[in-house]
Amino acid sequence: MVLLSYRRHRFPPPIIQHAIWLYLRFTLSYRDVEDLLGERGLELSYERVRRWALEFGPVIARRLRRRRPRPSTPAALIRGMAEVAPPLARAGVAQAALRAAACCPVP
pTM given for the model: 0.59
Residues 84, 63 share a domain: no
Backbone φ and ψ for 6, nearest 5 degrees, come out as -100, 20
Residue 94 placed within a domain: yes
Residue 24 is part of which domain span? 13-67
Tell me how many domains the chain contains. 2
Q: Would 3 be classed as within a structural domain?
A: no
What tens digit of pLDDT does each residue of 35-91 get?
A: 999 999 999 999 999 999 999 989 888 887 888 777 666 766 666 666 665 555 555
Q: Are 63 and 19 part of one and the same domain? A: yes
- 67 Cα distance to chain centroid: 7
CA atoms within 13 A on the CB side of 23: 27
Whether residue 5 lies inside any domain: the answer is no
